A and B are shown apart, each in its own frame.
Chain A
Amino acid sequence: MTDQTERVLPRPTPETVHFWEGTRTGELRLQKCDDCGKIYFPPRPFCPECGSRNVSTFAASGRATLYSYVISHIPAPGLGPPYSVAVVTLEEGPRLMTNIVGCDQTPEALTLDMPLEVTFEAQNDEITLPFFKPAA
């Protein structure tokens, strides 16, 4: 890993490709069970709450709050220390891992529960990653 200078990118699977198609077009896509109403992440073609395969995909608002994080000082491929590794709570409920961008990578600038909004950065033609920045 140490000889790698590019960020390690996801390899979409048939069950997740809709998520990565979404990020390319500026949408953060979640899934919802059409039977029990559960909104969930990460993607899968069935409801983790009730087991129904009757699920649909929708675009999330992109609004979130900062649940917890670390500020890593460990060099990682494509990530220059210090960088935040964060878990955010989406307005719709699910949590996801991301990086907080657009602010200092310090404890003072990164306060728990701060409002955030999604921002997309293309990594190549196929993969666009969702990051979060302080809400305007």
Chain B
Amino acid sequence: MARGTVAVVGAAETTEMGVIPETSELQLHADAALNAMAEAGLTAADIDGIAAAGEAPDVLAQYLGITPAWLDGTLIGGSSFMLHVRHAMAAIEAGLCTTVLITHGESGRSRVEAKGFPEFIGGKLAGQFEVPYGGSLPPTMFTIPVLRYLQTHGLRPEDMAPVSVVQREWAALNPRATFKDPITVNDVMNSRMVAYPFTLLMCCLRTDGGGALILTSADRANDFPRPPVYILGAGESAEGPMVSQLDDFISSKAFRLSGERAFAEAGISHDDVDHLMIYDAFAHVPLYGLEDLGFCKPGEAAAFVGDRNTAPGGSLPLNTNGGGLSYMHSGMYGMYAMQESIRQLRGIAPAQVPGAQVSVAHGVGGMFSVAGTIIFGNEPA
């Protein structure tokens, strides 16, 4: 695929964010979709491609009144939406459709007609070989690799705590963030133990919300009200969904492969990246992401964060909305990471990085076992 041939011309989150007990999961998808269509000046009649995870794309098409020529229901957890973007790029370039709507909505906290993880039931392989041992929830699955990672690199659990501390600093700048009060490394380490070595403040939130994107070909991108954000490169890979079967625990093969593909396609170097989002389901994920995407050498990401390189004023602003740890996390957070990348490149983020031109959004899914990476730019090349 050629870089910059497809652009985001609509991007919006749900009207409300946080605790939304009066809205079903389906309507959270629709609310975000309507907001994205409104800001792009489009109606359902203008959309001919649809992708969604959680709710199936045909369900959304019918609910929203869309007649699709292209559908994608890839559901691999939190990075599903990165994959939707990549697949939509290919579809638009191939002429299968012209204008794609990607929706996400999740009643992660209020659980109003919420879906579960389909792979983690009794007869599935994960249901047979992980769930019986308590491997049924993200806090006991996403987290299992980290002791091996810490020991290999001579790190301690408290070396992960600055991830939470720094992201809270970013969240304090974001009026929509769930948690804004400053925290210290001691606060993180003294918060309730959830799954050793992870304390509560190293774990993401559970909230309600959603988001939607509208993509079209770059040659139409200037016909819309908002400045377009171009897709420069994309990658995806998977090992999942069983965390016990990952290649190794000190580096994610899916992260590496996804990132390499995205950077190669974009034709950029790490020095070109102004802004970075790495899906932080738990505090260790940005550390693996920084290393596996090539921003840090193996074992050096914790010190990189601890030295405030990713903090406000640092050289590599990371998770500037506050992330899943402090902004919001409905269960499949990848959509919100991309929304923040797009806000930054449009110049409208609450914690705006001055002059941001290239942003990388990296999503994780499964149980720390699948990945999608999108590189956005505010110029097509």
* Chain A residues with a Cβ under 8 A of chain B: 1, 7-13, 16, 41-42, 67-74, 76, 79, 82-83, 85-87, 95-99, 107, 112, 129
Contacts and interface: CB of A to CB of B under 8 A. Distances in A.
Nearest to A106: B196
A96 B197 CA distance: 20
Which of A8, A9, A82, A112 has the largest number of chain B CB atoms within 10 A? A8
Interface of B: 122-123, 125, 127-137, 139-141, 143-148, 151, 192-198, 242-245, 249
A73 B146 contact: no
A70 B143 contact: yes
B128 A76 contact: no
Contact of B137 (A74, A97, A98, A112): A74
B195 A96 contact: no
Given A70-B147, A112-B151, A99 B197 contact: no
Given A12-B128, A68-B144, A70-B197, A87 B244 contact: yes
Given A11-B127, A71-B196, A99 B147 contact: no
A70 B144 contact: yes
Contacts of A99: 133-134
B211 to A, nearest CB: 28
B134 to A, nearest CB: 5
Contact of B131 (A8, A12, A70, A72): A8
Contact of B134 (A10, A13, A67, A79): A79
Contacts, number: 112
Contacts of A107: 196-197
Contacts of A96: 129, 244
Which of A1, A72, A86, A97 has the largest number of chain B CB atoms within 10 A? A97
Given A10-B127, A11-B122, A74 B140 contact: yes
Given A73-B195, A85-B135, A68 B129 contact: no
Contact of B122 (A9, A67, A68, A85): A9
A73 B242 CA distance: 21
B197 to A, nearest CB: 7
A13 B151 contact: no
B148 A67 contact: yes
B133 A97 contact: yes
A98 B132 CA distance: 8
B147 A73 contact: no
Contact of A11 (B128, B134, B136, B151): B128
Contacts of B140: 70, 72, 74, 76, 85
A95 B245 contact: yes
Contact of B145 (A10, A41, A68, A76): A68
Contact of A42 (B122, B125, B148): B125
A9 B132 CA distance: 5
A70 B198 contact: yes
A54 B193 CA distance: 47
A42 to B, nearest CB: 5
A31 B128 CA distance: 17
Given A9-B122, A112-B147, A97 B136 contact: no
B128 A83 contact: no
Given A11-B123, A97-B129, A85 B145 contact: no
Contact of B244 (A16, A83, A97, A129): A97
Contacts of A72: 134, 139-140, 194-195
A4 to B, nearest CB: 11
B129 A10 contact: yes
A97 B241 CA distance: 13
A73 B141 CA distance: 13
A127 to B, nearest CB: 8
A129 B132 CA distance: 8
B287 to A, nearest CB: 15
A10 B132 contact: yes
Nearest to A76: B134
B245 A85 contact: no
Contacts of A83: 134
B183 to A, nearest CB: 20
A68 B134 CA distance: 15
A68 B249 contact: yes
A112 B133 CA distance: 18
Which of A1, A41, A70 has the largest number of chain B CB atoms within 10 A? A70
Contacts of A12: 123, 128
